[in-house]
Structure 1
């Protein structure tokens, strides 16, 4: 369908959770000298201006990153994420929000490489421009689901895969999990991050069942919801399935989630953190 533009939603509460986790995972990967692949199935534009018409039309960032950027009591575990956001902005203004490719570039080293997939004709152009001087990046206007599978296992046997579809089609819920199941068969030691929106609870339950019925081990599930589940249209929350998470990520999220709820939430807000499948 290709109508989805993440520019409308950049920096919202879902991005805060997704990108704080991505930051923690990438920071962990850089602790070892050996290089790794970063693979992004639905990359978007790379960087987003919060002053443009898309971000201003929805203003979602105002109830997301804008509420956290100048907090004085940020937990240390979240400081890398906040400092990374600040690195793209001035001391006084929040003008830009990095997409996942920009976050990967922030952590990129000479021995690492990024493989970015995007189909939207406008976003692929913006992504290509963003990556123009990033010599270890590979931008592809092709199906990210297939692209992920074609790159595994990476030569170094170290890799982080982010699967972050727009979920314009209900089939994406099943397809995203199936992609990880198939990727796991090729590369069982990789770290996989699968983002999902909370729109219809039964779709997420179906994803959980897919994982349980597969051979995938060590799956952590985290979810933060601004509002209670509803049958009405709209995203009430956000979540991630993380396969082979860094060993301390569970404890880190246990610190981050109450802080996000306190700063971004309301009386209906809640979170869940569960080891969905053991190692």
Structure 2
């Protein structure tokens, strides 16, 4: 299936969560001078117009990036994330939202490298145009899971695999298990960051237990839920599983997750998890 288009969800609270964490992962990699490679397996279109018909249909950005746009007193980490979004909106009004490729590219040092794969033909064309002529960015029209065999391990031997699937396929969690096994076999020291939705609580918990059973020694689970998990419909929360998490990332997220919950939640519902 290729029906999923992220333009309908751009800038929502899940985007805020995943991109705040992405910025922290990149900054952690930059603590060392050696260059790194970032492989984004489900890259999307690169940037999104929040005034477009797609984004305006459900206006999910209203409960996401819009809640942070004019807030003061943000932590250094959240403020840096908002700065990345403001870079696409120099007149000060929120219109464009950067996807993970645009955020990552803004943070790259001259020797770092970005590899992007996108399967949807329309989004791939948009993504390709976004980075035309950029020698630090390679854009491929390819299935993200297939790309793991093609591009890993990278010559730099340092870096991050960022996996943000659409979850339009019922076996997505199974595919992610196979992906983790492949990455870890080919590049045991690489950082893996996997975003996942919490719609029905049971599937993500089963997936996490299966990951634990793989015996990989270093995994960090971070979750942000804005709505009760026992309600029947909708995106109740989301999470990111990080394999080989950078040093002290758990301490940083221990501060960031409660702040995100406080800034984004509606009413008194919501919860965070860091394990």
Contact kept? 1:225, 1:271, Cα under 8 Å = yes
The answer (yes or no) to whether the contact 2:86–2:92 under 8 Å persists in 1 is no
SS at match of 2:38: strand
Q: Which residue of structure 2 aligns with residue 209 of structure 1?
A: 209
Give the alignment's TM-score, normalised by structure 2: 0.96
Structure 1 stretch displaced more, 172-181 or 93-102: 172-181
> Quick check: 1:131 aligned with 2:131?
yes
- What corresponds to 1:82 in structure 2? 82
1:268 aligns with 2:269: yes
State the distance in 2 between where 1:252 and 1:82 align.
Answer: 17
Checking the alignment, whether the CA contact within 8 Å between 2:20 and 2:77 is kept in structure 1 is no
* Distance in 1, Cα, partners of 2:230 & 2:52: 31
Secondary structure of 2:197's counterpart equals strand
Deviation of 1:177 after TM superposition, in Å, equals 2.6
CA contact (8 A) 1:41 1:144 kept: yes
Structure 1: how far apart are the matches of 2:219 and 2:159?
Answer: 16
- Where in structure 2 are the equivalents of 1:82-231 lying within 5 Å? 82-230=82-230
Shift of 1:13: 0.6
Number of the residue aligned with 1:53: 53
**How big is the shift at 1:32?**
2.1
Cα offset for 1:248?
Answer: 1.8
In structure 1, the gaps of 5 or more residues are: 275-279
Report the TM-score, using the length of structure 1 for normalisation.
0.94
User: How much does 1:126 deviate?
Assistant: 0.5
Superposed displacement of residue 231, structure 1? 5.9
Aligned residue in 2 for 1:67: 67
Answer yes or no: is the 8 Å Cα contact 1:63–1:264 preserved in 2. yes
Name the count of aligned residue pairs. 274
* Structure 2 spans left out of the alignment, 5+ residues: none
- Say if 1:181 and 1:215, in contact at 8 Å, map to a contact too: no
Q: Distance in 1 between matches of 2:154 and 2:105?
A: 18
Q: CA RMSD, aligned part only?
A: 1.3
Moved more, 242-251 or 188-197: 242-251
Question: CA offsets, 1:234-253, max 9 Å, x none?
Answer: 21111000111121211111
Q: 1:91 deviation in Å?
A: 4.5
User: Aligned partners of 1:99 and 1:186: how far apart in 2?
Assistant: 27
Give the deviation of 1:99 after TM superposition: 0.4
Rounded Cα–Cα distance in structure 2 between residues aligned with 1:100 and 1:239: 16
Q: Deviations over 1:177-198 (max 9, x none)?
A: 3201220111111111000000
Residue number in structure 1 paired with 2:6: 6
Q: Does residue 15 in structure 1 map to residue 15 in structure 2?
A: yes
Partner SS state of residue 139, structure 1:
strand
CA-to-aligned-CA distance 1:73-126 (integer Å, 9 cap, x gap): 101232221211111112530111110110111012221211111111110111
**Aligned-partner SS, 1:22:** helix
Kept in 1: contact 2:221–2:239 (CA 8 A)? yes
Q: Shift in Å at residue 33 of structure 1?
A: 2.0
